[in-house]
């Protein structure tokens, strides 16, 4: 286990180094100088030069990369070029929308997918199974931002149950959750479709095992076998998928936030891109990538803990 | 031929056909504005209605199909032409440093949230179809590399490969002449899946304004324009959305159908 942990930790750190280098390089080669962009077209060259100096844009690339990474490690993400406020603060406030949204969507996806997957596996080849599989095919094919628009049309414009966009803040938690409901549903649908399908096939595989036949032979009913032996064993691959999905939900939120005008991380990234506030873009994207890589790492770890065979892999 | 294969093939052919036809003929000119005829519902002179500029939606969808298909297709092409040789090379010297390098790099790219990076790339290098292709294509490379490696690995232990080695063929030749034809089915199935994911990704990128730029019609852009009009004229949002759904559904069904048809499980895993 220790060897496995060391190996996984090494690859986690290597991934993070590679990710930060890629993000830094991509943003570095971006056309346009942030300093001249901030000062406008009428700025004096000396002013631009002074600002470049102040922002540290004059330093060699490698030094800027190291100070960026070093800063992030100590929680100092630098100052936004545009707003002159700490990037860490800007990201933290946005995170309070994006993270709850992803968790909310994940919960909904699981609540939807589990019964669906169970029913499909239990009624394999019959009508309910076909229904679930058709739903799953459809769920994967629907672009979630379009589904979001349909939700707005139905539940915000026609029936006025949920707000069509915006976020009132967490002062009133009930209103906040109401504002996040439609975005969460839109995000959850394709993930629920995938999850239901994985659960179904995992259950069907498990139900073909010898120990299931043994359980049936010793007199357990179909339902008892399904619950006591089937579901428990089928859960392992499902957990991995859930871990992966969380990363998808964090990233997928970027587009959904656009649909609902939610001031989350995704909108921060888009705003900063249009304002050439590159330091915010770099740090926000790095944070997203870090979250994704970390969740994948933790999933692998949880997986290895439950299934010793995987530690060798 | 299964039902999936027929239905998926027909849907895919329909969209490919519509895109091809748009080069020769569309019901209306997609750049022609006709403000008095704006937001007309489907039926009548405009079969699928008009948008807020009075442009014919059917014509825009046909031309938009071109953009979507071109972006997704080239992105799949990038994935195959770079990913498959890498995967084959890795499998031909399994366990060697090259295999290690290629496999680890693939793992690394997989760990990135592709959408975030695609947004970063298109945002930094400027929005446009070309950058969208690159952003989507990069993430297709590890998919095909991994698939080709895995499938090739199981073939390398088979007798006919051994025979080829005894006959004096080198690893590169064996990979090209014996391994590749035997994993082609798997690759084709994966193509349809990546193609459909590419269509969705392109729609997402052009929805947030990072895909093909106006006046080139694209499905995602049409949905973005429709967003503020959805209560006024639901068809401007419903029709492009359904188009994407049917295209993706068609490709997924085609992929499922082809997989069952080829039954790669029997061919590749039977070692």
Calculate mean pLDDT across residues A11-35. Answer: 81
| pLDDT recorded at residue B271 | 29
Report yes or no on B31 lying in a domain: no
Of A312 and A113, the one with more pLDDT: A113
- The answer to whether B241 contacts A248, with C-beta atoms less than 8 Å apart, is no
> Where residue A31 falls among pLDDT bands split at 50, 70, 90?
low
Contact B124 A29 (CB under 8 A): yes
C-alpha distance from residue A179 to each of A111, A153, A172, B126 (Å): 20, 15, 11, 32
Q: For chain B, what percent of residues have pLDDT higher than 90?
A: 48
For residue B44, the model assigns a pLDDT of: 78
pTM of the entire structure?
A: 0.88
End-to-end CA distance of chain B: 26
Decide: B199 and B244 in contact? Cβ < 8 Å: yes
For the stretch B256-271, pLDDT in tens is: 889 888 865 544 433 2
Range of the domain at B12: 3-21+41-269
User: What dihedral do alpha carbons B159, B161, B165, B171 form, nearest 10°?
Assistant: -150
Question: pLDDT per residue over A230-242, tens digit each?
Answer: 887 787 778 778 8
Of A107, A98, A80, nearest to A262 by C-alpha is A98
pLDDT in tens, B71-115: 999 999 999 999 999 999 999 988 888 988 888 888 778 777 777
CATH of the domain at B215: 1.10.3720.10
B270 backbone φψ class: left, alpha, beta (φ>0; ψ -120 to 50): beta
User: Does a structural domain hold residue B252?
Assistant: yes
Mutate to test the interface with A, among B61, B109, B120 (most CBs of A within 10 A): B120
The per-residue pLDDT for B267 is: 41
Check if the beta carbon of residue B252 is closer than 8 Å to that of residue B192: yes
Q: For domain A87-311, give the CATH number.
A: 1.10.3720.10
Which of A15, A26, A252 minimises the CB distance to B111? Answer: A15
pLDDT in tens, B211-242: 888 888 899 999 999 888 888 888 999 999 99
Domains of chain A: which residue ranges?
A: 2-73, 87-311
Query: How many of the other CB atoms lie within 10 Å of CB of B194?
Result: 27
> Mean pLDDT score of chain A, rounded to an integer?
85
- Provide ipTM, 2 decimals: 0.88
pLDDT of residue A310: 62
Contact B227 A142 (CB under 8 A): no
Residue B29 lies in a domain: no
In chain A, which residues have their Cβ closer than 8 Å to the Cβ of B230?
A: 149, 152-153, 157
**Is B224 within the bounds of a domain?**
yes
Quote the number of domains for chain B: 1
A53, pLDDT greater than 50: yes
DSSP string across chain B: --HHHHHHHHHHHHHHHHHHHHHH--SS-TT---GGGTTPPSBTTBTT-B-TT--BHHHHHHHHHHHHHHHHHHHHHHHHHHHHHHHHHHHHTTTSHHHHHHHHHHHHHHHS-HHHHHHHHHHHS-SSHHHHHHHHHHHHHHHHHHHHHHHHHHHTTSHHHHHHHHTT--HHHHIIIIIHHHHHHHHHHHHHHHHHHHHHHHHHHHHTT-SSPTTS--HHHHHHHHGGGTTT-THHHHHHHHHHHHHHHHHHHHHHHHHHHH-HHHHHS--
């Amino acid at each position: 286990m220790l060897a496995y942990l060391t190996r996984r930790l090494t690859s986690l750190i290597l991934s993070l180094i590679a990710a930060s280098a890629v993000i830094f390089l991509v943003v570095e080669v971006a056309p346009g100088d942030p300093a001249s962009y901030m000062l406008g077209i009428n700025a004096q060259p000396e002013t631009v030069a002074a600002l470049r100096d102040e922002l540290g844009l004059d330093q060699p690339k490698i030094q800027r990369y190291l100070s960026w990474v070093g800063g992030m490690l100590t929680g100092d993400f630098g100052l936004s070029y545009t707003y002159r406020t700490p990037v860490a603060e800007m990201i933290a406030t946005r995170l309070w929308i994006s993270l709850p949204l992803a968790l909310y969507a994940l919960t909904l996806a699981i609540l939807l997918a589990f019964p669906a997957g169970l029913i499909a596996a239990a009624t394999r080849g019959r009508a309910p199974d076909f229904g679930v599989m058709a739903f799953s095919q459809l769920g994967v094919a629907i672009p979630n931002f379009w589904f979001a628009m349909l939700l707005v049309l139905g539940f915000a414009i026609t029936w006025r149950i949920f707000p069509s966009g915006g976020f009132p803040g967490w002062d009133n938690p009930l209103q906040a959750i109401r504002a996040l409901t439609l975005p969460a549903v839109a995000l959850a649908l394709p993930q629920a479709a995938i999850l239901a399908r994985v659960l179904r096939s995992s259950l069907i595989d498990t139900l073909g095992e010898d120990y299931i036949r043994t359980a049936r032979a010793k007199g357990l009913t179909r339902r008892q076998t399904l619950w006591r032996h089937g579901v428990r064993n089928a859960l392992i691959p499902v957990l991995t998928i859930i871990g992966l999905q969380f990363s998808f939900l964090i990233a997928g939120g970027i587009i959904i936030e656009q649909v609902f005008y939610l001031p989350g991380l995704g909108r921060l990234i888009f705003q900063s891109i249009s304002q050439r506030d590159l330091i915010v873009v770099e740090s926000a994207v790095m944070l997203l990538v870090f979250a994704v890589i970390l969740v994948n790492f933790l999933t692998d770890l949880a997986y290895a803990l439950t299934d010793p065979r995987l530690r060798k892999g | 031929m299964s039902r999936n294969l027929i239905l998926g093939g027909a849907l895919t052919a329909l969209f490919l056909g519509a895109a091809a036809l748009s080069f020769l003929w569309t019901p209306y000119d997609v750049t022609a504005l006709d403000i008095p005829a704006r937001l007309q519902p489907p039926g009548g002179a405009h079969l699928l209605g008009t948008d807020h500029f009075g442009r014919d939606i059917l014509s825009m969808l046909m031309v938009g199909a071109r953009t979507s298909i071109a972006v997704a297709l080239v992105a799949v092409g990038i994935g195959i032409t770079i990913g498959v040789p890498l995967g084959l090379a890795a499998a031909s010297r399994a366990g060697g440093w090259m295999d290690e390098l290629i496999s680890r790099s693939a793992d690394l790219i997989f760990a990135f949230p592709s959408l975030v990076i695609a947004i970063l790339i298109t945002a930094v290098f400027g929005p446009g179809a070309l950058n969208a292709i690159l952003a989507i294509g990069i993430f297709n490379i590890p998919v095909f590399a991994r698939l080709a490696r895995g499938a090739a690995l199981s073939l390398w232990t088979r007798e006919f490969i051994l025979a080829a080695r005894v006959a004096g063929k080198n690893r590169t030749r064996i990979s090209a002449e014996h391994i590749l034809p035997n994993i082609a089915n798997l690759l084709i199935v994966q193509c349809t899946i990546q193609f459909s994911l590419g269509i969705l990704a392109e729609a997402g990128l052009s929805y947030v304004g990072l895909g093909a730029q106006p006046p080139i019609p694209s499905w995602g852009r049409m949905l973005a324009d429709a967003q503020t009009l959805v209560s006024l004229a639901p068809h401007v949002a419903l029709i492009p959305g359904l188009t994407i759904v049917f295209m993706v559904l068609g490709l997924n069904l085609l992929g499922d159908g082809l997989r069952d048809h080829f039954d790669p499980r029997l061919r590749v895993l039977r070692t």
